[in-house]
Amino acid sequence: MSDFPGKGKVAVLKTSPDTVLEDIDQLIRLAEVDQALPKEIQTGLKINISWQTWYPACSTTPWQLEGVIRALRGLGYTDLVGVHNDTVVVDTSDGEVNNKHKYVTDLYRVPCLYLYQDLFEWVEFIPSKPMLVLDKVYPQGIFIPKALMGMNMVQLPTIKTHVFTIITGAMKNAFGGLLHRNRHWTHSVIHETLVDLLTIQQEIHPGIFALMDGTFAGDGPGPRAMRWHEKDILLASADQVAIDAVSARLQGFDPLSIPFIRLAHDKGLGIGDPREIEIVGYDIEQEKPWHFIQEDTLASKGQKLIYHGPLKPLEKPLLQSSLVPWSYFASNFFHNVYWYPFVGRKRVKKALATRWGQHFKAYGDGQVVLPGMEKKTVLQALVGLTIFAAMAGTLTWLVSRKRQRPDS
């Protein structure tokens, strides 16, 4: 798809809790959503859940989801479905409740597809264009959800940094829908993967659109352990490359220095060069510099040693074998046992005192889940430490025995 309606055009608006639903309606009209998405077919809303716990800027906001449902229905899109997948480190069923997505989809009677459930068939996709990496990562075939083929897709990301991709947005949002639970196999070639996924999207979806929420935006070691900032901004576009480029520019990054944006721009999948992007609505030159910083967590530093560092030769046994649950455990332990209870919870409480935090709290029953240490992960840690201690003891005993033996 070298050309499509809305290529190179991004709509931007400033917003507030009192006007956000009306602003979203205005925004997607400015971005000419009706030119990008055919009305006569089903339209999927790819909801982002980067954490089953609510944290500012981490996952699709309830007003973002509500606003796009109301706006699309007002334009005559009657067949809407929410789209969820799961990951090895995030519980989607808890996440859609804690992030108040389920409250919104239930309120507007929007059914949801849970692609990780057994009733959904994953079929081999035979690309008509050469892939950069996916055919090599998955030599047995690239499998995607059959249910998404022939469906319009609306991506619902937030503005935030990411430990592996510098920033994450519309292109990265498809990563959580089109690939199954072993999508972590692509992390060492994540930038090329996102470009391959956009190539696939443009082949299987009649129309693609994105509405990006920057009411809260996050910098630091995203997509979870971030510093949140109130930025009161919304973006929309039919061009997944252009909207990510504008998001990157707002955050303070050179879009073309981010590999997935540069690669997609060079392949003609969208416009990544800010000089070639038409921005309508709010003039982002008025925006004070954000100066966002992309950082790593302890967990992501360890992963990068495997993906790009001295542990690269061990990538397959560590991440594509029976040992892989330990990498999930490490991520869960860091985020859910250490980081959220001791760091994140304080930040969430401060966020809840803001205008957007109060707006989030007002959805549904007015409650916000502030979990402590997850019992399941703590138990896993105790078991893991016990096994590790036993293995270390056995190894020490074997070494000691070998030293005691006389030379033969």
Question: What would the 3-class secondary structure string for 284-331 be?
Answer: HHHCCCCCCCECCCHHHHHHHHHHCCCCHHHHHHHHCCCCCHHHHHHH
For residue 303, tell me if it sits in a domain: yes
Give the pLDDT confidence score for residue 84 in this predicted structure.
95
Contact between residue 8 and residue 277 where contact means Cβ atoms under 8 Å apart: yes
For residue 369, tell me if it sits in a domain: no
Here the tokens at position 370 are: 């502030």
| pLDDT band for position 310 (cuts 50, 70, 90) | confident
For residue 53, tell me if it sits in a domain: yes
Range of the domain at 194: 9-310
For residue 330, tell me if it sits in a domain: no
Contact between residue 95 and residue 59 where contact means Cβ atoms under 8 Å apart: yes
Give the pLDDT confidence score for residue 186 in this predicted structure.
81
The neighbour count for residue 408, using CB atoms within 10 Å, is 3
The tally of domains found in the chain comes to 1
For residue 335, tell me if it sits in a domain: no
pLDDT at 395 over 60: no
Give tens-digit pLDDT for 295-304.
Answer: 987 666 666 6
- The C-alpha torsion from 24 through 27 and 29 to 31, rounded to 10°, is -140
- Please tell me the least confidently modeled range out of 30-44, 45-59, 84-98: 84-98
Here the tokens at position 237 are: 């576009």
Residue 210, SS3?
A: strand
For residue 344, tell me if it sits in a domain: no
Higher pLDDT, 335 or 329: 335
Give tens-digit pLDDT for 161-192.
Answer: 999 999 999 999 999 889 886 777 788 899 99
Give the pLDDT confidence score for residue 1 in this predicted structure.
54
Q: What distance in Å separates the CA atoms of residue 378 and residue 394, rounded to the nearest whole number?
A: 24
**What CATH number does the domain containing 83 carry?**
3.40.50
Give the pLDDT confidence score for residue 86 in this predicted structure.
81
Q: What is the pTM of this model?
A: 0.89
DSSP 344: I
Higher pLDDT, 385 or 253: 253
For residue 341, tell me if it sits in a domain: no
Q: What does residue 393 show for φ and ψ, rounded to 5 degrees?
A: -65, -45
For residue 372, tell me if it sits in a domain: no
DSSP of 100-161: THHHHHHHTT--EEETTSTTS-EEEE--SS--SSHHHH-TT-EEEEGGGTT-EEEEE-EEEE
Give tens-digit pLDDT for 60-91.
Answer: 999 999 999 999 999 999 999 999 998 767 78
Give tens-digit pLDDT for 7-32.
Answer: 999 999 999 999 999 999 999 999 99
Give tens-digit pLDDT for 259-295.
Answer: 999 999 999 999 999 999 999 999 999 999 999 999 9
Give the pLDDT confidence score for residue 391 in this predicted structure.
47
